[in-house]
Chain A
Amino acid sequence: MRFVDEFRDGALGQKVAAQILGLVDPGRHYKVMEVCGGHTHSIYRYGVDDLLPANVELVHGPGCPVCVIPMGRVDDGIAIASEPGVIFTCFGDMLRVPGSHGTLLDAKARGADVRMVYSPLDALRIAKAEPDRPVVFFAIGFETTAPSTALTLMRARAEGVENFSCMCNHVTIVPPLRALLDSPDLRLDGFIGPGHVSTVVGARPFTFIPADYGRPVVIAGFEPLDILQAIHMILAQLAEGRCEVENQYKRVVPYEGNRRALAAMAEVFALRPHFEWRGLGFISQSALRLSDAYADLDAERRFSVPGVRVADPKACQCGEVLKGVIKPWECKVFGTACTPEHAIGTCMVSPEGACAAYYNYGRFVTSSGGPNL
């Protein structure tokens, strides 16, 4: 397949790995964070970390929207879904994220009409097919997904679909990165930047990382060779004393991003003053709400929601995993009380969560330091 097969060439991967080995200082330990959950998934699926020298450590970042959604927001969604007559739509992973009183799937089992959709457009189609019932879309995701929600709300407005509304949980990528860089318990040497988020926002928003924090960033694609090359580019910057934003994923990511997507987001959304991230706490201006111009399509204004902050379960160490402080297998409930089938923490729910990715692909391998469960 075009743009796929050539980026999964094992022999070429070995060559890049050998070049990486030639770049590293044996006396130094390198920590590189992949920001995006898609990268985390690929790293475990293809065993990218097993090709790296022992002193190059990949740290898994907070770039999985389902993993960072706090329990209180799940409770708010369940409250709306439980309203009489409501059709509540969301991406599949959200169905199994635990709130304080169960998941959206549990709510569905209790009689709520909760439906999985592939896109906001699918939710709008349901609204048009069921004009007598309120249809709510639980919007979640970074800047890659936010334009899809924005365009759908613009379409709903243009077509006069009055029974459609949106509970907005979109988050933005830069504020959590700044929070991580300000965190005293984490030392990182560089970042693998998110590939598809960057198709929307471009490369410019990441320039603060080299400018303010002196760390290189390489925006990367999602195939194993993309990730290996990005790691090579980061280590080359470090070896040469350079520090900048580079774009490994030029076949897809334009430096300026997508201006129309940014304009649509600016029209439909406004920044929330603060938003809670699981494991990272409240981060200022890190999430989106519907703008005043689209307030009539805001499900949180149409329905009553508890809006209560709920603490994570004590056994759950998702916060430390999301900050890269511990590895998934170092969590005390990993693979025992917490599994993909019965997740306690969000990192085990999404296949892009670090815990689920490691559980699904890496738990039988001990070379990267994990237990042979």
Chain B
Amino acid sequence: MTECDSHAGRCITCGDVGVEMRVLAIADGLARCDADGEQRDVEIALLDDVGPGDVLLVHADVGLVKLG
């Protein structure tokens, strides 16, 4: 997922890519999230009441939507 390369994968901005990630923990206003074993720190300022276990739609390390 960290690849943003024309040959290896897809460009997150051109592809409007959203990745479903599960929140593991929260620290310093960022959520440590996991998708298929890969972990990223995700900005959660756009969402209400995010906690461990929540599933977010993440684009460029920003949570855009909390998924049901």
CB distance from A339 to the nearest CB of B (A): 11
Interchain CB contact under 8 A, A96 and B16: no
Select B61's contact among A1, A119, A144, A352, beta carbons within 8 Å. A119
Interchain CB contact under 8 A, B62 and A351: no
Interchain CB contact under 8 A, A261 and B64: yes
What residues of B have a CB within 8 angstroms of the CB of A356 in the complex? 6
Are A91 and B11 CB-contacts (below 8 A) given A37-B16, A118-B2? Answer: yes
- Could you give, for residues 191-203 of chain A, a 1 whenever the CB lies within 8 Å of some chain B CB and a 0 otherwise? 0001111011000
Say yes or no: is B37 at the interface (Cβ < 8 Å to chain A). no
- Could you give, for residues 30-66 of chain B, a 1 whenever the CB lies within 8 Å of some chain A CB and a 0 otherwise? 0000000000110101110000000001011110110
Task: Look across to chain A and name the residue whose beta carbon is closest to the beta carbon of B5.
Answer: A92
Interchain CB contact under 8 A, A93 and B14: yes
- Could you give, for residues 1-29 of chain B, a 1 whenever the CB lies within 8 Å of some chain A CB and a 0 otherwise? 11111110111111111101000000000
Are A148 and B2 CB-contacts (below 8 A) given A66-B11, A92-B11, A142-B16? Answer: no
Cα-based distance from A147 to B58 in the complex (angstroms)? 12
Interchain CB contact under 8 A, A351 and B14: yes
Interchain CB contact under 8 A, A92 and B3: yes
Say yes or no: is A335 at the interface (Cβ < 8 Å to chain B). no
Cα-based distance from A255 to B10 in the complex (angstroms)? 27
- Could you give, for residues 57-83 of chain A, a 1 whenever the CB lies within 8 Å of some chain B CB and a 0 otherwise? 000000111110000000000000000
Cα-based distance from A254 to B40 in the complex (angstroms)? 25
Select B46's contact among A119, A251, A264, beta carbons within 8 Å. A264
Cα-based distance from A196 to B46 in the complex (angstroms)? 14
Say yes or no: is A314 at the interface (Cβ < 8 Å to chain B). no
Interchain CB contact under 8 A, B17 and A38: yes
Interchain CB contact under 8 A, B15 and A351: yes
Tell me which residues from 26 to 75 in chain A have a Cβ below 8 Å from any Cβ of chain B: 36-38, 41, 63-67
Task: Look across to chain A and name the residue whose beta carbon is closest to the beta carbon of B42.
Answer: A121
Interchain CB contact under 8 A, A196 and B59: yes
Cα-based distance from A359 to B59 in the complex (angstroms)? 26
Cα-based distance from A182 to B6 in the complex (angstroms)? 32
Cα-based distance from A195 to B20 in the complex (angstroms)? 14
Interchain CB contact under 8 A, A199 and B57: yes
CB distance from B62 to the nearest CB of A (A): 4
Interchain CB contact under 8 A, A200 and B6: no
Interchain CB contact under 8 A, A199 and B64: yes
Interchain CB contact under 8 A, A151 and B16: no
Select A148's contact among B1, B40, B61, B65, beta carbons within 8 Å. B61
Which B residues fall within an 8 A CB radius of A? 1-7, 9-18, 20, 40-41, 43, 45-47, 57, 59-62, 64-65, 67-68
**What are 27 contact pairs spanning A and B, CB under 8 A?**
A1-B20, A2-B20, A3-B20, A36-B16, A37-B14, A37-B15, A38-B17, A41-B15, A91-B11, A93-B13, A118-B1, A118-B2, A140-B13, A141-B60, A142-B13, A148-B43, A148-B59, A196-B18, A199-B65, A222-B18, A252-B18, A254-B65, A260-B46, A264-B45, A350-B11, A351-B10, A352-B15
Q: Enumerate the 8 nearest inter-chain pairs by beta-carbon distance, A residue then B residue, closest first.
A: A92-B4, A141-B13, A119-B61, A352-B14, A148-B60, A93-B11, A38-B16, A38-B15
